[in-house]
Amino acid sequence: MVEKLRIYNSLTKKKEVFEPLEPPFVGMYVCGPTVYSDVHLGNMRTFMSFDVVYRYLQYLGYKVRYVRNITDVGHLENDEDEGEDKISKKARLEHLEPMEIVQKYTNGFHDLTKIFNMLSPDIEPSATGHIVEQIEMTQALLNKGLAYETNGSVYFDVAKYNKDHNYGKLSGRNIEDMMESGRALTSQDEKHNNIDFALWKSASPEHIMRWNSPWGVGFPGWHLECSVMGTKYLGKTFDIHGGGLDLQFPHHECEIAQSVGTYGNDPVRYWMHTNMLTMNGQKMSKSLGNSFLPSELFTGNHPLLDEPYSPMTAKFFMLQSHYSSTLDFSNEALKASRKGYKKMINGLRLVKQMEFVEDGTERGEAVVGQIEKIIKACHSSMNDDFNTALTIGQLFNLLKKINSLHTGQLGFSAIGKEVFEKMKSTYIDFVENILALKEENPSDYKEMVEAMVAIYKEAKFRKDFERVDKIRAGLKANGIIVKDMKSGIEWAYEE
Ligand code: AMP
Ligand code: ZN
């Protein structure tokens, strides 16, 4: 028996057996991008991690409703309650409609998710599409006495909430410490306390994105959208909520406070946080200026890049670490990932072509036991909090057995049809459907390689070795290795 799926819950700080509220249904909400500029590679690491979570839950037979929002209003500069709205500012600077900015970067994000072979969420709601609901939640919190209005803005009263609840339980922060270390308030401040946060902000005359509300013209605070959209599409309590670790505080802490304040119950059962992609140990971030765009990676057009790296190489690099560990970007690591990725894809090409043939070899219980153990380990690695790093290691172990079958070191009859088919489907499922790595070369490229290999075979048959060498060298220059196997001539990607 393979153990059940266990998830590290950032709320309880424990790995817990995953038990959805209403199996087989699973509700999963992931904070989406703020679409005021291109998403960088760090952002993609987070979204890719949740793509694997989504895929694996489906593989386990759950019916997942995956909601990932688009933040198109309310995210102010520096994640604070002061400063300009990121989208509004960009629209003003570029003389564009805010929705043109939103559309442009949403399209760019969607293109990237396709390039990285990620699935679309089931619902992708936007903050501006839920202004009415955000006004309603703000009103509900005012009615409960957990919010107050100042000059047309509404703030959440953290100290009052904390009398009956625990503000800081997700991030492990203490309210007194936060109050002390925060900025001292002046008489001009609208907040009662420096830890209070905006539910609704009054819009200054030059602020372009604005809506009518009971408190005047304004726009919603950033944290509110996720509480509202999570509740609307997944219910007052749902199973999984994810995002990057940098969103844990204040964003997710505020989400909990808003929902508990409004409905009296915790909104989320399992909080999941991905760790940061770093550059020389520092978080990759737009504001720190150390971020890469995926497009820069694919073209190699960046001073810190030795050469271009393909989307699947980058994906393999990300999946080779567990989502909860930091991952440091380096050219060396990416080069190693390219080798790893190619090895995995060569395995995929190979195993897809392999068919079971009775070859009369004697059944080997020991090797059958080893293969079954590896298959089990592929599952238990994923069940251990979606540990893609361990899973990749196990898939390479499985690949060793696949290669032994291919070279004839291991006989098909020695493992039997049933084990062979299980081994084949496990490898294909895990690589293609769970990790979602795919062969990158378009099929016409493969056809060209096949044609070259056919000419190679023919030249070899005619003993035209000059030609043979020329073709071999030409293919090698394009990353293709020709192999003379006992069973015939084959090609593979150079690892
Ligand atoms: P944003 O568009 O800034 O709201 O970020 C979108 C997502 O990317 C959020 O879940 C962030 O936590 C996540 N994120 C931001 N920087 C990084 C990074 N360097 N590594 C991994 N995830 C990140
Ligand atoms: Zn959010």
At 1, the pLDDT band (50, 70, 90 cuts) reads low
Q: How far apart are the first and last CA of the chain?
A: 35
d(CA 255, CA 248): 10
Which residue shows structure tokens 């072979």? 117
Q: Which ligand has its closest atom nearest to the C-alpha of 290? A: 1
pLDDT of residue 13: 97
> What is the whole-number distance in angstroms between the Cα of residue 42 and the centre of ligand 1?
6
Assess contact for 259 and 249: CB atoms under 8 A: no
pLDDT of residue 289: 84
Q: Which ligand has its closest atom nearest to the C-alpha of 222? A: 2
Residues 6+ positions from 425 with CB-CB distance below 8 Å: none
* pLDDT tens digits, 221-232: 999 999 999 999
Assess contact for 470 and 457: CB atoms under 8 A: no
Which residue shows structure tokens 């271009």? 308
- CB-ligand 1 contact for 242 (6 Å cutoff): no
pLDDT of residue 20: 98
Beta bridge partners of 198: 155
Length of the chain: 495
Q: Which atom of ligand 1 is nearest to the CA of 276?
A: 20
Residue nearest atom 11 in ligand 1 by C-alpha distance: 244
- Domain ranges within the chain, ordered by starting residue: 7-274, 279-434, 445-493
At 341, list the tokens. 């990725």
Q: Which atom of ligand 1 is nearest to the CA of 291?
A: 19
The CATH architecture one would assign to domain 279-434 is: Up-down Bundle (1.20)
CATH level 3 topology of 7-274: Rossmann fold (3.40.50)
% of the chain residues with pLDDT over 90: 84
> What is the whole-number distance in angstroms between the Cα of residue 139 and the centre of ligand 1?
30
Beta bridge partners of 270: 240
- CB-ligand 1 contact for 42 (6 Å cutoff): yes
Q: Which ligand has its closest atom nearest to the C-alpha of 318? A: 1
Q: What is the mean pLDDT of residues 301-314?
A: 93
- CB-ligand 1 contact for 284 (6 Å cutoff): yes
Q: Which ligand has its closest atom nearest to the C-alpha of 227? A: 2
Q: Which atom of ligand 1 is nearest to the CA of 30?
A: 10
At 142, the pLDDT band (50, 70, 90 cuts) reads very high
In testing the pocket of ligand 1, which one of 46, 319, 327 has its CB within 8 Å of the most ligand atoms?
Answer: 46
Residue 399 C-beta-side C-alpha neighbours within 13 Å: 20
pLDDT of residue 86: 87
* pLDDT tens digits, 437-455: 999 987 778 888 888 999 9
Q: Which of 96, 108, 137 is nearest to 35 (CA)?
A: 108
SS3 assignment, position 378: helix
Own/partner pairs, 208-217, CB within 8 angstroms, 24+ separation: 208/88, 208/91, 208/92, 208/98, 209/73, 209/85, 209/87, 209/88, 209/91, 209/98, 209/128, 211/131, 211/135, 213/135, 213/138, 214/135, 214/139, 215/149, 215/152, 215/153, 215/154, 216/152, 217/152
d(CA 202, CA 209): 11
292 burial class (0-12, 13-18, 19+ CB within 10 angstroms)?
A: buried
Residue nearest atom 6 in ligand 1 by C-alpha distance: 33
At 246, list the tokens. 């940098």
